[in-house]
């Protein structure tokens, strides 16, 4: 048989062909049912097959789907921007639409640099990020990502941005223990700024809860308050990458609300459209917009599909659906329920080192030894094996590996749509229980 014309994530793998989806369930063409325990890539926040969204698509498409943003604005894009600005904290009142999370973080990077350039400060061109982070796959976004596996082939093309240690208490990169450490990882940001010189640094970027590269790593409560203070001290912008955490996923509209910290820029994606259309956004503060408006008046970024009315109408309908069914509140309540259930598995299986999360962004980290927290060797492929066992039992979970230098960092995300019920969580956890039992046997033999 010849090679498929579609380039898939792993060439030669046999992927099932999707037929349809309903709520938290997906069905392939052979009639197999899967529980979408990862909302795809933590994206399908309102579940699959929602008719209201299909209607909103048609209602917009029958008028106009696309206009070029340099020629027209649209009611849908204006309303969506207003809605997001109303939800965003502080003076984050202006929205730039893009098509993916990578573009959202890369736009944030460009806006930060432009903000200083407009004031005649041309040296502030670096963005500090953290090891154990993922901000996207395009070269600017990847330059900011502390994700060795995804960076490795392109390092020569990436900007040499500095990285601070992540607030990864379970495997502290500074070998400290919380709370005795005094959240040293946040102080380290200040050390890096002082070493490089604050005149070089435009921004610090962070995921409020680390997702793809770490498996729902929640920082200590003091962390972001300290980070905000350091950024303010050195005139450095704080970018919250809420691509995964935003739009209610963690039980708040934006995860930074958990700590009452207001960033200068927020990057959004994934749950904003809940997967019904590719759309993402960069939300910018008045402080920044005032400077750009008084200067060149043009935010130096943009894509053909930016702010297209078709996608904007879909995102509006997604947010209305979230409001109608109080999905943010459900995420908070069901997240607690899920973590409690996962903690029961932790008692049962020594290879579960840590269970953590905020709202419905939940993670499990697997280790060789739960006492010493010694990780598995890369060759053990613990997460790959678990994913495939779960898959054959009809459960989808998300791999969160590769963010840490030197070991695999074997974590998964368990993050179903925000519509999930207690019964559905019990079903998911039952399958996980059976799957981890099977994995344990495989690892012993
Ligand atoms: N930022 C974060 C926190 C993400 O988790 C991701 C994707 O996983 C991205 C950015 C990149 O988003 P996209 O894949 O839509 O480009």
pLDDT of residue 387: 97
pLDDT of residue 405: 54
pLDDT of residue 404: 56
Site to substitute for ligand 1 among 44, 45, 97, 136, most atoms within 8 A of C-beta = 136
Tell me, using a 6 A CB cutoff, whether residue 38 lines ligand 1: no
| Structure tokens, 325 | 């069914």
pLDDT of residue 406: 46
Q: Same domain for 161 and 173?
A: yes
Low-confidence ranges of the chain (pLDDT < 50): 406-407
Whether this model's pTM surpasses 0.90: yes
- Report which ligand 1 atom has the smallest distance to the Cα of 212: 5
Q: Same domain for 299 and 388?
A: no
Domain limits for position 39? 18-49+326-444
Tell me, using a 6 A CB cutoff, whether residue 134 lines ligand 1: yes
Tell me, using a 6 A CB cutoff, whether residue 244 lines ligand 1: yes
Whole-number Å distance between alpha carbons of 353 and 373 = 7
Q: Same domain for 304 and 380?
A: no
Q: Same domain for 354 and 276?
A: no
Q: Same domain for 335 and 316?
A: no
Per the CB < 8 A criterion, the answer to whether 245 and 208 are in contact is yes
| Structure tokens, 277 | 């259309």
Q: Is residue 70 part of a domain?
A: yes
How remote is the CA of residue 194 from the centroid of ligand 1, in Å?
Answer: 29
pLDDT of residue 165: 94
Q: Same domain for 186 and 242?
A: yes
Q: Is residue 141 part of a domain?
A: yes
Q: Same domain for 153 and 302?
A: yes
- Report which ligand 1 atom has the smallest distance to the Cα of 103: 16
| Rounded (5°) CA angle 9-385-153 | 40
How remote is the CA of residue 212 from the centroid of ligand 1, in Å?
Answer: 8
Beta bridge partners of 205: 239
Q: Same domain for 279 and 382?
A: no
How remote is the CA of residue 136 from the centroid of ligand 1, in Å?
Answer: 5
Q: Is residue 401 part of a domain?
A: yes
Q: Same domain for 333 and 216?
A: no
Last residue of a domain, one of 297, 324, 351: 324
pLDDT of residue 379: 82
Q: Is residue 240 part of a domain?
A: yes
| Rounded (5°) CA angle 252-253-255 | 60
Last residue of a domain, one of 295, 324, 353: 324
Last residue of a domain, one of 292, 309, 324: 324
pLDDT of residue 62: 98
- Report which ligand 1 atom has the smallest distance to the Cα of 280: 15
Q: Same domain for 248 and 304?
A: yes
Tell me, using a 6 A CB cutoff, whether residue 241 lines ligand 1: yes
Whole-number Å distance between alpha carbons of 38 and 362 = 10
How many folded domains does the chain comprise? Answer: 2
Q: Same domain for 85 and 227?
A: yes
> How far is CA 240 from each of CA 57, 166, 234, rounded to the nearest angstrom?
30, 14, 17
| Rounded (5°) CA angle 387-392-397 | 35
Tell me, using a 6 A CB cutoff, whether residue 275 lines ligand 1: no
> How far is CA 199 from each of CA 124, 165, 233, 245, rounded to the nearest angstrom?
6, 21, 12, 30
Q: Is residue 425 part of a domain?
A: yes
pLDDT of residue 372: 94
Site to substitute for ligand 1 among 98, 149, 244, most atoms within 8 A of C-beta = 244
Q: Same domain for 247 and 336?
A: no
Q: Is residue 13 part of a domain?
A: no
Q: Is residue 288 part of a domain?
A: yes
Per the CB < 8 A criterion, the answer to whether 239 and 202 are in contact is no
Give the CATH number for residue 365.
3.90.1150.10
Q: Is residue 259 part of a domain?
A: yes
């Amino acid at each position: 048989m010849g090679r498929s014309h579609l380039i898939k994530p792993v060439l030669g793998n046999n992927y099932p062909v999707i037929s349809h989806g309903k709520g938290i369930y997906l069905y392939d063409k052979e009639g197999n049912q899967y529980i979408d325990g990862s909302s795809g890539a933590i994206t399908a926040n309102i579940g699959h097959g929602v008719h209201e969204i299909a209607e909103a698509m048609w209602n917009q498409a029958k008028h106009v789907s696309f206009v070029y943003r340099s020629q027209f604005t649209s009611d849908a894009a204006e309303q969506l921007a207003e809605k997001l600005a109303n939800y965003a904290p502080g003076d984050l009142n202006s929205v730039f639409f893009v098509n993916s999370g990578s573009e959202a973080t890369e736009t944030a990077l460009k806006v930060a640099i432009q903000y200083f350039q407009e004031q005649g400060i041309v040296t502030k061109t670096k963005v500090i990020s953290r090891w154990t982070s993922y901000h996207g796959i395009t070269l600017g976004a990847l330059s900011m990502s502390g994700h060795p596996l995804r960076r490795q082939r392109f390092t020569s093309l990436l900007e040499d941005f500095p990285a601070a240690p992540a607030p990864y208490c379970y495997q502290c990169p500074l070998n400290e223990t919380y709370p005795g450490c005094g959240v040293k990882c946040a102080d380290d940001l200040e050390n890096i700024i002082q070493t490089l010189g604050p005149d070089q640094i435009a921004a610090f970027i962070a995921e409020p809860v680390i997702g793809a590269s770490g498996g729902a790593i929640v920082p200590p409560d003091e962390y972001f308050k300290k980070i905000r203070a350091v950024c303010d001290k050195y005139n450095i912008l704080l970018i919250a990458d809420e691509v995964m955490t935003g739009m209610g996923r963690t039980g708040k509209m934006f995860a930074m609300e958990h700590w009452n910290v207001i960033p200068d820029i927020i990057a959004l994606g994934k749950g904003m459209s809940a997967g019904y259309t590719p759309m993402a956004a960069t939300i910018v503060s008045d402080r920044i917009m005032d400077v750009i408006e008084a200067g060149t008046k043009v935010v130096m970024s943009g894509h053909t599909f930016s702010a297209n009315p078709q996608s904007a109408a879909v995102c509006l309908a997604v947010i209305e659906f979230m409001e109608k069914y109080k999905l943010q509140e459900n995420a908070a309540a069901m997240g607690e329920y899920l973590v409690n259930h996962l903690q029961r598995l932790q008692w049962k299986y020594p290879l579960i080192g840590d269970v953590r999360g905020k709202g419905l962004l939940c993670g499990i980290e697997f280790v060789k030894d739960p006492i010493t927290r010694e990780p598995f060797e890369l060759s053990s492929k613990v997460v790959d094996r678990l994913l495939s066992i779960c898959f054959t039992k009809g459960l989808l979970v998300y791999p969160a590996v590769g963010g840490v230098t030197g070991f695999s960092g074997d974590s998964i995300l368990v993050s179903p749509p925000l519509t999930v019920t207690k019964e559905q969580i019990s079903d998911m956890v039952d399958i996980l229980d059976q799957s981890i039992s099977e994995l344990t046997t495989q690892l012993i033999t």
